Amino acid sequence: MVPGDGIGPEVTTAARHVVAATGVDISWDVQLGGDAAASLGRARVPESLLASIRANGVALKGPLATPVDGETPNTNVAIRVALDLYAGVRPCRRFAGVETPYGDVDLVVIRENTEAEYTGIEFEQGEPATKELIRFIEETTGKRVREDSGLSLRTISDGASERIARFAFAYAAEHGRSTVTAGHKANIMKFTDGLFLETVRRVATEYPEIAFEERIIDALTMQLVQHPERFDVLLLPNLYGDILSELGAGLVGGLGLVPAANHGDELAVFETVHGTAPRLREPGRANPIAMILAAALLLRHLGEREASDAIERAVAGALAEGRTRTPDLAPAGSATATTSEVAEAIAQRIRRS
């Protein structure tokens, strides 16, 4: 358990309360990261935190803060990279009782988590190495890059594309999903997105029971806004997955309703899509549902399917009833509930079931 920063401790406490109501006996190994660790003079991602996840195999993690200084690597990303959590999974499901412009939305964004923009190789504008790289590009390709440019290397490999594709199709098969749609810009970036798409096509032939579609990313974004109910599993390179998972959250009512999982071959970290939300400084205003649903994903991963299903049913029932809502979900002028009150309402439903 990594409580996190900002609203993290509050929503992870709520999730623990709901998990306890299921009767599943979990011993939580609490580890600090982000601001909480830095305030004690530790690294933002302490080795003890990583060692705990490696030893236990799973973690439930609150959002971790990163200073906006242009130098400190993102703390949440650093954990994914250190543990090779290459598959980001974000289920986006619309619940009855949540006001959105859409009807049925039940899609899953599966995102390659470790390369492309997360390769992290950048060249600062004006530096000698940047100028040398600009000259190299012009000499080898004939294409001119402005001298006042900063550069980033976006890498996509066959190996990483293959493993995320296999993960996506296996996920679809295991969870009763019928279609995988790959998003790409292979018409422009032929050697990166093109490689990703070629690899996904190859893997798709091994899963004839799963329908496979491909969409250019800009068209896919438009189609998601028009008809999100037509999509099932979306398979995307890093940046596209980052953007469309946020779009997916918007389709179903906001970041407070969308859980996330990050999987490696042997490890998994469950968390929320939202950040530390410093604007919600007043206790009790944070929506705990995304973290509660992340805990449900963790339980399912551990084989506790009955408990996981009980949490998801209780969340759906509480939202449909509409009496216990944090301010982000409550209609203007209506009564609101605190973070702990929402958690208790969900826990009570589980106990009664």
CA dist list (Å): 168 to 104, 113, 163, 263: 22, 13, 9, 11
**Residue type (1 letter), 338:** T
Catalytic residues: 118, 185, 218, 242
Are 343 and 16 in contact, with CB atoms under 8 Å apart?
no
Please give the biggest Cα pair distance in the chain: 71
Q: How far is CA 162 from the centre of its chain?
A: 20
Nearest by Cα to 111 from 251, 229, 245, 222: 245
d(CA 90, CA 202): 24
Alpha helices, H only, the chain: 8-22, 34-38, 47-56, 75-82, 128-141, 158-174, 193-204, 217-226, 238-252, 289-301, 305-321, 339-352
